[in-house]
Amino acid sequence: MKHLLFILFIISIFSSCKKRNLGFEEQGVLQFSETIIVFDTVFTGVGSATQSMKVYNPHSKDISISSVSLEGLAGESYRFNLDGFPGNQKDVIIPANDSLFLFAEVTIDASNQFNPFFVEDNIVFVTNGIEQKIKLTAYGQDAYYYRPTQFVQGLPPLSFVSEYLHIPLTSLDVNWKNDKPHVIYGYLLVDSLLTLNIPAGTQIHFHTGAGLWVRRGGSINIMGEKEKEVVFQGDRLEANFDDKTGQWDRIWINTGVESNIKHAIIKNGFVGLQIEPQPFSGSSQDVVAEKVNIQKTTISNMAGIGVFVRNANVDIENSQIDNIGTYNMAVTGGGNINVLNSTLANYWSGGNREDPMLFVSNRYSTGENSEESENLNILFGNTIIYGSKEEELELDSAKSAEYNLTFDHCVLRTELVTSDNTRYKSCVINPSSVTIGDESFLPVYKNQNAQDFSLFQESVAVDKGSIEILNLLTDKTDILNNNRDATPDIGAFEYK
């Protein structure tokens, strides 16, 4: 009993010392962490990211918000949630010297406007008879949309390019326009026999898990130009998604008809390009003659693989593959592959990169615990394969098939034995840092920390290329259309 009386006595002392907030603040108003919430470009019909802010009560008494509501200037485009409760509310209490979270998002209705447009609204707070507003601003844009219509077990949701054309078909060429972005949900399939032509300046955006699939017998021609590149990326355009990997799946090309990719930017997905014959086959596959030609293209910031090639003929020229979660390039099975005057760079910052940049093998899997091998001829000429790991090459071969791999006038980072002059011809192996004045610089790239993989004057790649390799190129200018001289540089960039 004595202990209980003592506890009650102590409680009474603290209670008498504590200041109490009686009633509500009757004069003051709210404070906000932001007075304007801005949403970056939002495609019509696609929800934005959620933006957040705080609503503060800076007063020593509780405050009552008489009402909080959308003004309705943009119809039902905007939605908000205050303290876990969605939509318009009344008599919301914020304790003294406390705050509540407010979350807002936007979906812009479809429009016939080709150009970007603003959609604005206000969240209106009424406190003690005083009106305060938070402005909501979204920058919206209409687009061409491709949504799944086929749901086949074992395949991702998909639709066919032919579904969006006039029937009957008058041509096997499908010509996209570049007046509005193209937004793809699920997988969009280029039907066999059709050719998808994508003109310069076209913007293609993929929703989560989406991809573009060129079926065997179909083809794709990506016809970008310098400063009018064809760009493939995710459909979230807020600034914090600029370098977020894995936002979409891949571009998947089944060989059989020649395809061409020029001046493209492919970024922020899982696999940049996957090139192979008919997939899902559990048996060996022949290498078909038709090539996939890739020129002056950048594949960057992919969570998985930059370019995956299996049993295919591929030419890559004046291109850059950089900052990839596993392999910049992985080649399995057979084929004839040329990688000329290109740059493979990897300073991946998205986690611990365990794999080297390049994997080459003439083996390929035909199913669980089963593999085959095919004759492989692959040339890396005037090409940089240099990244942050001490070992950037992983080479594997089966004796049951030919394995002709050559590095000719390349810059390489590797711990492998490179004394075989038939495989490693006039290569720069593991170059040391370059000293300029009193400063030391990494030996190859201008500024790899800023993802600038062009060259600087003292780079070990300058003037170290082969004119004979250069003469093999379809286009002898570099990735920026700069002319190369009689002593060409190694890599996608010619130093100027």
**Residue pLDDT, tens place only, 307-363:** 999 999 999 999 999 999 999 999 999 999 999 999 999 999 888 899 999 999 999
- Identify any residues that bridge with 405 across adjacent strands, giving them in sequence order: 378
Q: Which amino acid is at 388?
A: S
236: in domain? yes
My answer on whether 73 and 220 are in the same domain is no
My answer on whether 301 and 374 are in the same domain is yes
My answer on whether 388 and 356 are in the same domain is yes
Q: What is the pLDDT of residue 206?
A: 95
CA–CA separation, 322 vs 358, rounded Å? 12
Q: Which residue has the higher pLDDT, 60 or 42?
A: 60
Q: Which residue has the higher pLDDT, 75 or 121?
A: 121
Q: Is residue 431's pLDDT more than 60? A: yes
Q: Which of 141, 159, 184 is the last residue of a domain?
A: 141
Q: Is residue 10's pLDDT more than 50? A: no
480: in domain? no
In b/e form, how buried is each residue of 455-466, taking b as 16+ CB within 10 angstroms?
bbeebbbbebbb
CA–CA separation, 392 vs 407, rounded Å? 14
Q: Is residue 454's pLDDT more than 90? A: yes
9: in domain? no
pLDDT tens for each residue of 373-425 = 999 999 999 999 999 999 999 999 999 999 999 999 999 999 999 999 999 99
What is the Cα 333 distance to its own chain's centre? Answer: 27
203: in domain? yes
Q: Is residue 492's pLDDT more than 70? A: yes
What is the Cα 148 distance to its own chain's centre? Answer: 21
Q: How large is the average pLDDT for residues 83-111? A: 91
My answer on whether 104 and 68 are in the same domain is yes
Q: Which of 124, 141, 158 is the last residue of a domain?
A: 141
42: in domain? yes
My answer on whether 137 and 149 are in the same domain is no
Q: How large is the average pLDDT for residues 20-47? A: 83
My answer on whether 54 and 179 are in the same domain is no
Q: Is residue 467's pLDDT more than 50? A: yes
26: in domain? no
Number of structural domains the chain divides into: 2
137: in domain? yes
Task: Identify the top-confidence range among 53-62, 112-121, 285-294.
Answer: 53-62
CA–CA separation, 255 vs 293, rounded Å? 11
Q: Is residue 58's pLDDT more than 80? A: yes
C-beta separation of 241 from 248 below 8 A: no
Domain coverage including residue 77: 31-141
My answer on whether 221 and 337 are in the same domain is yes
My answer on whether 135 and 148 are in the same domain is no
Q: What is the pLDDT of residue 194?
A: 96
Mean residue pLDDT across the chain: 91
* Backbone phi and psi for residue 19, each to the nearest 5 degrees, phi listed first: -75, 135
For residue 39, give the CATH number of its domain.
2.60.40.10
23: in domain? no
My answer on whether 295 and 410 are in the same domain is yes
Q: The tokens of 77 are what? A: 């485009």
Give the whole-number percent of the chain exceeding pLDDT 90.
76
Q: Which residue has the higher pLDDT, 94 or 170?
A: 94
Q: The tokens of 179 are what? A: 């007046």
My answer on whether 185 and 123 are in the same domain is no
My answer on whether 412 and 385 are in the same domain is yes
* Backbone phi and psi for residue 9, each to the nearest 5 degrees, phi listed first: -65, -45
My answer on whether 218 and 130 are in the same domain is no
Q: Which of 88, 110, 141 is the last residue of a domain?
A: 141
Q: What is the pLDDT of residue 193?
A: 94
Q: How large is the average pLDDT for residues 263-287? A: 86
